[in-house]
Amino acid sequence: MAKPIPRIGSRRSGRTGLRRSGRIGSRRNVRRIPKGVIHVQAGFSNTIVTVTDVRGRVVSWSSAGTSGFKSARRGTPFAAQVAVQNAIWAVVDQGMQRAGVIIRGPGPGRDGALRAIHRSGIVLSYVRDATPMPHNGCRPPKKRRI
C-alpha cells in the first residue's frame, strides 16, 4: 500500500490548529469602489448606516451605538451624523465618489444622516425613502377587559 501524499495547501498546521499563511499585514482586501449605495435605517432608538457596492455587498457599516452613544442619545440627529461619518470615512479611502441613498424608518436621525452624507463630498445620484408602510397591517390585540 502506497503512502498518502501530504496536502500542501492545508489551512491547519499540525495539532495546534494555528494558521500557516504567508500573509503579512492586513487581511482586508482593498478594492476600488467608484459607486455605491448608502442604506440608512433610522429607528427611534438607534440609527444604522450600511454602505454597499452596487451589487449589494457590504463595504462598511456603523451605527450610533458603535459610535459611542448610549441609551437615549443614540436616537438623536447628531448621533446619526457621527454614524454616517464613521461609515463613509472608510469608503472614501476606497475611491467612492457617487452614491445613492436609501432611507428607511421614521426616526429623528433621518435628516441628520442625510445632511452628513451631503456634507461628506460624495455626489448623490438619488435619495429614496423605503420606509415600510403597512397595508392595514397586523390584527390589533383584543380589547382589554378589567
Query: DSSP character for 16?
Result: T
Predicted confidence at residue 34, as pLDDT, reads 86
116: part of which helix (H) or strand (E)? helix 109-119
Tell me how many degrees the CA angle 65-48-45 measures, rounded to the nearest 5. Answer: 60
Predicted confidence at residue 114, as pLDDT, reads 92
Q: How confident is the model at residue 113 (pLDDT cuts 50, 70, 90)?
A: very high
Q: How confident is the model at residue 146 (pLDDT cuts 50, 70, 90)?
A: confident
Predicted confidence at residue 16, as pLDDT, reads 53
CATH topology of domain 39-129: Nucleotidyltransferase; domain 5 (3.30.420)
Residue 91 to residues 8, 120, 129: CA-CA distances in angstroms?
36, 11, 22
Predicted confidence at residue 15, as pLDDT, reads 54
Name residues whose C-beta falls within 8 Å of residue 13's C-beta, 6 or more positions apart in sequence: 19, 20
Residue 110 has pLDDT above 70, yes or no: yes
pLDDT digits (tens, 9 = 90+) for 70-103: 888 898 999 999 999 999 988 888 888 899 999 9
Q: Are 47 and 113 in contact (CB under 8 A)?
A: yes
Nearest to residue 103, comparing CAs of 126, 86, 69? 126
- Mean of the pLDDT values across residues 90-119? 91
In degrees to the nearest 10, what's the CA dihedral of 58, 84, 105, 57? -10
Residue 10 or 38, more confident: 38
pLDDT digits (tens, 9 = 90+) for 19-60: 554 455 555 566 788 899 999 999 999 999 999 999 999 999
Rounded distance, CA 58 to CA 87, Å? 11
Predicted confidence at residue 95, as pLDDT, reads 87
